[in-house]
Structure formats: structure tokens, C-alpha cells
Structure 1
Amino acid sequence: MKKLCAALGLLLATTCAATDAPLLPQRVADTLQQRIDAGEYPALVIAVVDGDSSAVYTYGKLDQGKPLDGDTVFEIGSITKTFTATLLAQQVTTGKLQLDQPVATLLPGFSIPSRDGKAVTLGNLAMQNSGLPRLPSNLRPADAMDPYADYSPAKLKAFLSSYTLPRDPGARYEYSNLGVGLLGYALGVHAGTSYEQLLQQQVLQPLGMRHSSTVQTDAMHATMAPGHDATGKPMGNWHIDALAGAGSLVSSGNDMLRYLKANMGRLPSTLYPAMQFAQAARADGPTPAERIGLVWMTHHDAAGDVIEHGGMTGGYASYLGFTADRRYGVVVLTNAAIAPEDLGRATLLADAPLAPAHKRISVPEKELDDYVGSYQLHPGFNIAVFHKGDQLMSQGTGQDEFPVYASAKDEFFAAVADISLSFKRDEHGKVTSVVVHQHGDHVAPRVGAHMPEANDRPAITLDTATLGNYIGHYQLAPQAVIDVTLKNGQAFVQLTGQNAFPIYASARDKFFLRVVDAQIDFERDKDGKVVALVLHQNGMDQRAPRVAE
């Protein structure tokens, strides 16, 4: 572990004296090192504020063994939203905009949905209660590994003009990347510039954040930590166009320490009144213990309230938070898509829980056969366990599959979330159930020796011309579209916001999935043109008409 100190008022960190007392609580430092040793995080930077003292600590190493420091750059994902909130609060506190002002007033030529005469306001977008969905249904990336890169202002405009709000603006909280992305775009248009230029002029440059931008230059890539997904697989960077205000920023530990101090009032800045305005809790959040201001969440804890926000992209995760008394603060940046929220909160609060580090052990492929099966967590929801080679996989009904890793005999954990599995055996050594540890302990009896029958079904081969008939977009719900694509002769389906999965033909117009027990039938009109699909899953038949681009 390397330790760097950042002195108040300096742009760059300087090496601390060896006698300096560490600011990072020992239990957090120990857990963090254990996770690095276990391979959960390749590299991690954590910046800590304790009163007038601050420090930046680095753990792990970059690919090819390269060292990292306080200027190493990471994607910070949705923490970008707090910068968007600062831009809005700055305009409101100076009287140039109002929270109850309709966003339509900033976007001439846009048709913004309303409901019962109630317009979506700037405040609704920032407080995540606009009624807009998490993602727009016309988000159909050309590259699923860079999902926002080709989502343009024209696509944003087209979606808004056709969307119907399911509830009144302000009715309830619903996290929306679309909503905050729209807010950032609108603020840029209102200022007559781009979101990037507005952010640089109003926040980044005034705070001396020289290694931060929403545009990834070659120079920035030279100091960027390569990203990884939750399994450790290398991931490319995300590039965000129209929705930049929702998650496009890249930054460093040193820069984010300056931003943290500014929000805590411990770095002199004319932005502080706007930052305080944005942090003030105004509406209900996702849980009874949480309230939301302008993007910022206030998490209530018996030991004290924490003002915070997290972020995640395809290959990175981050956390920023500080105590409501503005005494303690922390920033965590890592180049793996594994949320570090517990590390952040445990740095701020002595009694905050820390998930244990898991050391991965190897299990021979043949032994993984013991666990393969279907386990019923509750009626209508099963957990399928299977393996791909020597990697054990788990998948809930209707959900994406994810890998689980062995930490001991019959004990497995997931890297994508705080989930672990304990398999139980009978007196003959046969696995009969699994205990799912997530928000408690939940027993799921084994109800089948195999994956759903669909996974063992034989498939037939259809020619490329026939498969081409099915390519298109199918509207399953107002904000959910099933995309059918073709790659190297293999057909895929992808629901909005989910991964793409292969489908296999059992007959002309009839397909099935192997990752879940689901079937898809395509409908044709009297002229033989495919006009809809019907999804058969969980005892339901859901029809999705084909829609134009």
C-alpha cells in the first residue's frame, strides 16, 4: 500500500512523512488489502478527509504491474450526476433558473411529456421523480459494451416526443439515468454550449480538477486504469453522448479529493453555497432510510447521517460520501465493476458493516456437477445453477446469469453483488438445497436435477435469409423493447437494459432460449411479413408488436 497526502490548497498530492498517523480506519485498511489479495479489486484509490487532514491511499496495481497514484484516472459513473446537480444549483442560487421551471423551457423544439397538466420540472429531474424511466426504450447500442456511445440528441428528442408518463411528475422516486442525462443536456443547451464545456468552465477548472473530463483524450488514456467487469474480464471504456450528465466523467483520486473537500466546505470555493443547496434533502428516496436532494442521497444511520452517491460503469465502480457534520469524508475509485459502498461507509461510521473478503479457490469441473440443478426460492422464482467449463454460474428466473466463485467446499460467492450461496447435502452427500445469503438467509430446496428442459432441447438450423426476417425491434412495454439481431449466423434477443442472449430455432418462427426457460414465437401477417413476437415465460404469454426505427 502506498500513502499520499493532499494538503489544503495544493493541486497535487505530496508524499507523507512516515510518522503521519493513518486516516483510514484499520479495519477498512485490513479488509481492503484482503480484497486486493483475493483478486476482487485489481486496483483501488481511496481518499480520506478527517477534519483539516486528508490523505490519498492506493492499493493493488494496474495491468502489466504498472503502479498507480493519486493522478491515475478512473471512470466515476453516476457520481457525475452530483456535478450535474451542482450546475443546476448554481443556476438556481443565482436566480437564473428555478427548480419548479419546466425543462421544456430550456429545450426549444423538444416535446417533453407531461401528465394531467403537470410538466416535468428541473427539480423533478434532479430529485429522480420525473416519471421518466431508468433508460429510454430506443437505447439500442451498436456496441453493447459501450451502450451510450451512439445515443444522440436526436434519439433523445425522438424518445421524449413519443413517451407517455406512467404517473404524475413528483409522485414518487424512480432512479433515472435518462432523467439526469436530460438535465445535463438541457443545462448545456441553455448555456449555449456543450455539457463538457459548461462543466469545465463552472466546476472543474475553478476547483483545479486538471485530470477530470467527460471527453477521454489520448493523454487521459495514458494515465487511466484499465477497467474490468466483476469477473475480472478486461472491459473497454464507456463514451456517453446526449446523456453525458448521467455518468460520463473520468477523474483521479487527487481531483476527487478536491471535489469532496469543496462539498464539505473544507476547500475555499464560490461553489459551496450551490453545493449545500444541492445536498439538502427534499424528497423521499428509494428506502425509508434515505432522502434525496438534488441527486445527492442522505442515508440515515443511528451513528449519524451520511450524504453520498455511488457510481458504476462496465469496468469501474466508485463511491463518494461525507458525514452530515462535514467532519469525515471519503472517495473510493476502483477499476472493477464491484460496488465499494461498504468500504466508504465503514470509513465514515465506526459501526458500519464490512462484507468479508472472499478468497477464490479452484474446483474441478467434475465436482461442479454436484451443484447443477434448479432450486426454488419461492413459487414462480427458481435459481438455476449450471457451469460453463470450470466456472459455476447462477441465474434467477427472468434475470441475467452471473458467475459464482468457490471460497470453500460447498461455499460460493458472487462478485457482482453481496450474494453468497451455501449448498447443503444429505447423509449420502447429495446436494439437496442451497441457502442464499442476501438480506438474510433464504433456503431454496433443489427441485430438479437439471436446468430447465429448454436447455437440453435440440435446435434446428435456419438459413441466414430466414433468420433475417426476424431482425428488428419489438415493443414489449412502454419502456421495454426486445431487439432481435443476427451475428455470424446466430440470432440474439436483448431486452432494454439487459444483455443479449442467443435464441435457437425449434421450427420456422419458433425459438427458445437456453439461459432461461422461455420461448419466442414470431407472428406473420397475410403477406408473410413478421409483425410481432410472443414471449412465453413464467406461465405468461406477452405479445410485442414490431416497431419501426
Structure 2
Amino acid sequence: MRRVATIIAAGLLAAGCTSVEEGPGPHAAQEACDPELLSALGKWADAGFSGAVAITGGGADCRAAFGTADGTAPNTDDTVFAIGSVSKGFTAAAILDLAQDGALALDDPAGALLPGLTGPAADATVEQLLVHTSGLEGDHGDGDHRPLDRDRAVADLSALGSAFEPGTDFLYSNAGYTLLALIVDEATGSYRDYMAEEILTLGGGFWDGEPAAPGPRAMGEVDGAPAVENGQFAGPHWALEGNGDLAMTAGQLADWTKALFEGEVIDPAAVEALEATRFDYGDGTAEIPGWVSVGAEVFGVPLVTASGGGGDTGHNAVATWLPDQGVSIAVTSNSERINAGQLAELVVPAVAAGEPLPEPEPRIEADPAELQALAGEYALATGGSYTVTAAEDGLEVAAEGADAVAAMFASPDFAPEDVAAHEAAVLALLDGETEIGREELAAIEAEIGAVEAVELAGTAGEDELRTYLELATAAGTVLAWYALDEHGGVGALAVDTGPPTFTLVPTAAGEYRRDLFNVEDGVEVVFTDDAMTVTGPAGTAEAGRS
């Protein structure tokens, strides 16, 4: 699902800023951006946003930083963040640069440019890879931060199947962009050297390996704990090359985005090719190499945007180019509570409509005694349950059972019918009636033993849907979750995992919210005596302390 609002809003948000003193929190402004905007940003930083915002062009040169890089040191304009899939825009620039120089053509099949490549990947053209219409499905390697050398990467890519006739549909593919990086490597002698010398002209570098992005690094957050992947993975790095390997400051990302679209990174003719190479979604938006182009009919002004992050680095990044204003904006974050995309998702509708930026619901200081008193097991009459534990500044709630998970579900991007369709598709996948399903079931059984029964355990998620399943085996029940891609293939999964866990922050005595960035449609939890009342988009659920 393309979350256009998430990416666009960050750009619209900051267009009026001038400069901000670097500092650890939301109150570090010395020279005001727009006072009202800065005030709202400060409240979102108070509510949990940690990261940086940078704006350049149109007379603006704003740098603002909030929160901490590692729990102690403040985020500043010099703090480096992994930019995840925003890296694809850099890979696309490298390919278009080489095409402009005559080293390759966009209609060349990948197999003609990369020796040893076979299978459907060899037949995909460069253009199809750039706009995710190659049909390639599946992943290469054993994980983002698992060693993968060049030869194994080519072999893995050769083994990928195809979901549709190339050029006829869209399927987002990380593997396709690694294939593009391999093509750059083959054409230039070194993918990393070419990126450093020809594309990363305004700073930045690689998150893992050399040449590394210089500067202090933000520590990300994954499932409430410091991210393990902090840029020290020794490689080889071909699992992430081309699709999510770069890192830089928010300012460097903003400056590079402006320079790219103004023809300073690659030739203006190559920029024209970038903007003309597209897959049209038919809703005013289109995929262009490394970016999403959004027409003026959607939000009133044309925009070009990209987003990335999540995963095991715990970082998020958003880049936005406003061509009419000549303004480039980058937002980076290293906190799960409110990340760059979530903040932007609230901002864009308000700014596009000329309305005030929504503010987070006021939170109060957590009372440790109250948190401890509320901890315990709460059971729903319908069978599910919640395990509530006290955290440093709120409550952590693990939901077990489809009814418990459903009551906690709230997402601005997915409707009930989306959830139902995803659950049905996951169950159908594990029925073993299709080749892909049989392969998936065989892979699971090789790990946990024969699966005797599959029971739905609920669906959670915001950026993506994750359907949880209880897999009954001879040795006991194993919990797993699946996230499917647009064509029903496995986008991500975890086996032998824990139940979905939700963070609750206090808003009044005995009153909590699941988040503060989605106030109107979020989940509210009220504790009275030995009862826990959950109210959200799914309705109201009552749970009693066991």
C-alpha cells in the first residue's frame, strides 16, 4: 500500500521554517521557524518524536533536531540516520547517470548487463526494475544483516519467480534494486566507489561498511529496545546494496534531493528521463525511479516523495521535493513512539487544507505506583486476554487472542475489509493448496515440526498488516505472524514469536491512550477497579482482572 500522505506531509510541514538551534528537545528554538509551527512540533517532540527536520530552497535553510541520539547525547544537525528505502532514489540516479553516458539503456534486459544472471530476473528490463514492474517476487539472501556475497546474490536473484508478465503490473521489489546495484557494479567496477564518487556528492555514505557516512550516529529503537544493528555489520552487504544501504544527516538528504531534481547530481537530461519513466497508479500518483510522483490534483501542489526505514535499524526517513516552490525537505527519526511518517501523516491534511496542525492529546507524568497497581492479567468474556506490565513511562499490553488484538487495532491506512482480506489470504496460504503455500508450509514444518492445525490469532499493524496465527504441533502451540505483499506473496514473517504488544501512555488518572498521534481514531483504555475498558475503531471491549 502506498502511504502517500505519510511521505508528503513532512515536506509541507516545514516549508515555513528558517533556522533552529540544535538541541536535545523541542524547546531548543533560538531563531524561530514559524512560531505556531514550531510550537506544534515541540508538542509532538514532547509526545515522543525523536529525530531531525531539514528544509532547503525557496529562501529557507532550516535545521531542527529533537530528542536523543542514544538516550543521552542529543540529536543534532550532524546526527546520521539510516535512510532505508530512500536509498533507492540514489541507486536510480546512478543507473540514469550511466544511461545518460551510454553505458546502458533503459530497455536493456538485466541478463545482457550482468553475466551469470538467469531466470525471470534476466528478462526484466532496467526500466521495469526501476519502477517495480518486473514482476520479481521474493527476497534474496537470508536477511538484511546476514552476509551475502556477490556470487550468491546473483544466484539468489536468478532463482526468483515472477508474479506477472513483466511490465503489466506493479510489485515493490527490494531484490530488483539490488539487481540494479549489481548492474552498476558490473558497469563501473565497483558499486560502492561509484556511489561515493559520483552520486553521494553532498555527503553521506553507507550505514554498514565503507565508505561509511561520517558523523555521530543515532541509535534506533526496535520493539521498545535499542536496535542491535548500529552500523557495525561487517558484510558482505549484498542483501541491502541498492535497496536500503545508505545513511546521512537530515540536512544532507534535503540538500541532495534538491540538487538531484535541479540537475546538479546527474545531467538535467537524466532528470527528465527520471520524471518521464513511470508506472501510473491511476489516482493522481505514479511510481518514478526511486520516488513517488504526486499530482497537484491530490493535495493542491505537485510533490515528489520517498520514504524508508523500520526494520532492524529502527530508523525512519522521509524526503520530499516541492518543484513549484523549489523546496526540499527531509525528516528522519529514531523513535518508535512517533516516527517521521506518523508525524507527517497528521500534518499533511491540515496543511493542505490550511487548517491548524493537530496537536497531541496532553499526556501526564506516569505515576509509578499506579503503573504497578494496574499490572496484571485481564480476561475478555470472549476468550482473549491482556497481559499488562509497568514500563518506565506507561504500560505495555500484550494481547492474546483474535478478540483482544482486534480491540487494540487502529490504523489510518487499513479498513476492516483490508484486515479481513489479509487474514483470509494468510489462512489460504497455509492451507497448502498452492505451490507457494506448500513451499511455505514445508519451510515452517522444517523448523517447528508438522503443523496439525492453524488458528487465527488476530491482526495488528500500522505501516503493514501482520496476521498472527497459532500453529498447533505435536510439541505444542507456536505463535507466528505473516505480512503479505500486494500479490499475496510473503512480504515478512516471524515464527515462534511473542504476541503483539501495544504501548499505553497516561492522559489522566486511570486513563491511557495507545498513541498520541492518532487522537481522533486511536484507542483509549480506562482502568476502573479490576476492569479494563478498551475503546477504539472496533468498538468497546471489557476485560476483568484475573
Same fold? TM cut 0.5: yes
Deviation, 1:128, is 0.9
Q: Distance in 2 between matches of 1:77 and 1:100?
A: 27
Deviation, 1:167, is 0.9
What residue number does 1:297 align with? 292
**Counterpart pick for 2:167 among 160, 165, 170:** 170
What residue number does 1:229 align with? 222
Q: Provide closer, same or farther for how the CA distance between residues 83 and 235 of structure 1 changes in structure 2, counting only shifts above 3 A.
A: same
2:341 equivalent to 1:341: yes
* 8 A Cα contact 2:306 2:318, kept in partner: yes
Deviation, 1:184, is 1.2
For normalisation by structure 1, the TM-score amounts to 0.62
SS of residue matched to 1:65: coil
Structure richer in strand, relative to its length = 1
What residue number does 1:121 align with? 125
* 8 A Cα contact 1:322 1:348, kept in partner: no
What residue number does 2:397 align with? 392
**Counterpart pick for 2:478 among 510, 513, 518:** 513
* 8 A Cα contact 1:84 1:180, kept in partner: yes
**Counterpart pick for 2:444 among 472, 478, 482:** 482
2:33 equivalent to 1:37: no
Q: Provide closer, same or farther for how the CA distance between residues 175 and 290 of structure 1 changes in structure 2, counting only shifts above 3 A.
A: same
Q: Provide closer, same or farther for how the CA distance between residues 307 and 219 of structure 1 changes in structure 2, counting only shifts above 3 A.
A: closer
Instruction: Letter of the 1:29 partner, please give it.
Output: L
Q: Provide closer, same or farther for how the CA distance between residues 482 and 139 of structure 1 changes in structure 2, counting only shifts above 3 A.
A: farther
2:142 equivalent to 1:140: yes
Q: Distance in 2 between matches of 1:122 and 1:479?
A: 30
For normalisation by structure 2, the TM-score amounts to 0.62
* 8 A Cα contact 1:46 1:333, kept in partner: yes
SS of residue matched to 2:206: coil
* 8 A Cα contact 2:92 2:289, kept in partner: yes
Instruction: Letter of the 2:397 partner, please give it.
Output: L
Q: Distance in 2 between matches of 1:148 and 1:483?
A: 24
Deviation, 1:107, is 1.0
Q: Distance in 2 between matches of 1:395 and 1:264?
A: 48
Structure richer in helix, relative to its length = 2
* 8 A Cα contact 1:212 1:249, kept in partner: yes
SS of residue matched to 2:118: coil
* 8 A Cα contact 2:274 2:289, kept in partner: yes
* 8 A Cα contact 1:48 1:55, kept in partner: yes
Query: RMSD value over aligned CA atoms?
Result: 4.4
Q: Distance in 2 between matches of 1:173 and 1:263?
A: 25
Q: Provide closer, same or farther for how the CA distance between residues 271 and 292 of structure 1 changes in structure 2, counting only shifts above 3 A.
A: same
Deviation, 1:173, is 1.1
* 8 A Cα contact 2:103 2:187, kept in partner: no
Instruction: Letter of the 1:316 partner, please give it.
Output: H
Q: Distance in 2 between matches of 1:365 and 1:347?
A: 38
Q: How is 1:268-283 mapped onto 2 (pairs within 5 angstroms)?
A: 268-269=264-265, 271-280=267-276, 282-283=278-279
Q: Provide closer, same or farther for how the CA distance between residues 189 and 343 of structure 1 changes in structure 2, counting only shifts above 3 A.
A: same
Please say which of residues 268-277 and 318-327 is displaced more in the overlay. 268-277
Instruction: Letter of the 1:292 partner, please give it.
Output: E
**Counterpart pick for 1:310 among 307, 310, 329:** 307
What residue number does 2:458 align with? none
Deviation, 1:179, is 1.0
Runs of at least 5 residues in structure 2 that lack an aligned partner in the other structure: 1-16, 21-28, 391-395, 418-434, 449-463, 483-494, 496-546
Q: Provide closer, same or farther for how the CA distance between residues 110 and 304 of structure 1 changes in structure 2, counting only shifts above 3 A.
A: same
What residue number does 2:321 align with? 322
Deviation, 1:191, is 1.4
Instruction: Letter of the 1:438 partner, please give it.
Output: P
Q: Provide closer, same or farther for how the CA distance between residues 272 and 388 of structure 1 changes in structure 2, counting only shifts above 3 A.
A: farther
Q: Distance in 1 between matches of 2:360 and 2:381?
A: 28
2:198 equivalent to 1:198: no
Percent identity (aligned) = 20
Q: Provide closer, same or farther for how the CA distance between residues 155 and 49 of structure 1 changes in structure 2, counting only shifts above 3 A.
A: same
Deviation, 1:514, is 4.5
Instruction: Letter of the 2:289 partner, please give it.
Output: L
Deviations 1:22-44 (A, max 9, x none): 2xx55553343223212x233x1
Q: Distance in 1 between matches of 2:280 and 2:67?
A: 38
